[in-house]
Amino acid sequence: MTREIFNQGFATLFNAYTYSQERMTTEAEEVYWMMLKDIPDDLWLKGVKGCLANCKFFPSIHELGTACCGEREIVTDPFAHLTPWIKPPTKTITWQENLECILIGGRKAIEARKLVVAQAARDGAGEWELPEVRAARK
């Protein structure tokens, strides 16, 4: 993200929260910039809007990062489906790990997955398969 886009989003947050003017320092702003500068522009602006909609107080670095890149839990036990009455062990994928995947090129994969899900919902098929698999079936 560029510093200009960061400043635009940060100023929006700064002006939206009443007590942030009294408590925020330029040093704190630099820490936010240092921790969040790798987030792409469009995700940053989406995250700022998400924080404005959902945060009671000025968001922390973690809250902003999560609003931008998201967090998710994955099941770590490959045999969890065999014992559905027991809660399977999970691992939280943090917003930093999601950001790393996005920066490495996983963003295309994430967008492709959203497209597959949207197509399945639109077709009413309820199938979660890749388009190549679906085309081979027809």
The number of C-alpha atoms within 13 Å of 112 and in the hemisphere containing its C-beta is: 10
Within a 10 A sphere around the Cβ of 35, how many other Cβ atoms?
A: 14
pLDDT value for 127: 46
Name residues whose C-beta falls within 8 Å of residue 96's C-beta, 6 or more positions apart in sequence.
65, 69
Assess contact for 48 and 9: CB atoms under 8 A. yes
Integer CA distances (angstroms), 135 to 18, 19, 118, 120, in order:
55, 56, 16, 13
pLDDT value for 106: 59
Parse the chain into domains and list their residue ranges: 1-69, 72-138
pTM for this entry: 0.68
User: Given its phi and psi angles, is residue 105 left (phi above 0), alpha (psi -120 to 50 degrees) or beta?
Assistant: left
pLDDT tens-digit profile, the chain (138 residues): 899 999 999 999 999 988 877 788 889 999 999 999 999 999 999 999 999 999 999 999 999 999 999 988 888 888 888 888 888 888 888 999 888 888 887 555 555 555 555 555 555 444 445 555 556 555
Which residue do the tokens 């995700």 mark?
Answer: 43
